[in-house]
């Protein structure tokens, strides 16, 4: 049996989002991932992504859990895998992106009061390094290319970063393959069969 996990809307962190916002709640996803890993009936995990991003700590926490699973995992980006959706997409053992899907890569953002001191900049830089390190160690994109995309100033109006689409995400090494639901499921079933043989 394959378990399907959807990561949609905003990845919610420690603050509750407004009721009219679609969210993925980390306190629901984390124990679910542990249960999937422990289940004898579930042989693999399919992650369907259509997220605008969200809380960095919650997103990275979920991504680390996915990356640490022994069972076969496959992600498929449909619509968008933006912001913290990028590490969530590459956390799976194999990643797919629909031809029309998009991914936004940008520097870390913070809401609320910001103290204008060097320590604030250092804090941002360290958070950003956690994301860059995770993405580059779980995909085939180079650190240099990822930083170029993240810090581009000619891609998004009045902002810093890049929006990349299906084929471009594969060409730069961020995502493994262009694919559809059937492609992702075919790969996942094959990986599950291989795991069964090895076991």
114-123 own/partner pairs: CB under 8 Å, 24+ apart: none
102's enclosing H/E stretch is strand 102-105
Examine the pLDDT at 133 and tell me if it is beyond 80: yes
Catalytic site positions: 83, 106
Examine the pLDDT at 111 and tell me if it is beyond 80: no
CATH number at residue 56: 3.90.226.10
Q: Which two tokens stand for residue 151?
A: 């810090």
Q: What is the pLDDT of residue 109?
A: 82
Domains in the chain: how many in total?
Answer: 1
What is the rounded average pLDDT of the residues 158-183?
96
Residues of the domain holding 89? 2-198
Q: Using one digit for the tens of pLDDT, what is the confidence trace for 34-76?
A: 999 999 999 999 999 999 999 999 999 999 999 999 999 999 9
Query: For residue 26, how many C-alpha atoms fall within 13 Å in the half-sphere facing its CB?
Result: 24
């Amino acid at each position: 049996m394959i378990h399907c996990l959807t990561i949609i809307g905003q990845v919610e962190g420690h603050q509750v989002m407004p009721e009219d916002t679609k969210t993925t709640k980390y306190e629901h996803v984390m124990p679910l991932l542990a249960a999937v890993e422990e289940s004898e009936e579930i042989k693999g995990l399919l992650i369907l992504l259509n997220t605008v991003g969200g809380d960095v700590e919650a997103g990275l926490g979920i991504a680390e859990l996915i990356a640490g699973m022994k069972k076969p995992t496959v992600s498929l980006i449909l619509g968008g895998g933006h912001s913290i959706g990028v590490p969530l997409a590459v956390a799976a053992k194999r990643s797919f992106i629909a031809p029309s899907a998009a991914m936004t890569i940008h520097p870390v953002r913070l809401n609320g009061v910001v103290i204008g001191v060097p320590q604030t900049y250092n804090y941002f830089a360290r958070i950003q390094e956690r994301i860059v390190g995770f993405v580059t160690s779980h995909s085939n994109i180079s650190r240099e290319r990822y930083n170029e995309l993240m810090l581009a100033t000619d891609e998004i109006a009045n902002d810093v970063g890049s929006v990349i689409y299906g084929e471009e995400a594969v060409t730069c090494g961020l995502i493994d393959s262009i694919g559809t639901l059937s492609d992702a499921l075919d790969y996942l079933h094959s990986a599950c069969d291989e795991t069964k043989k090895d076991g």
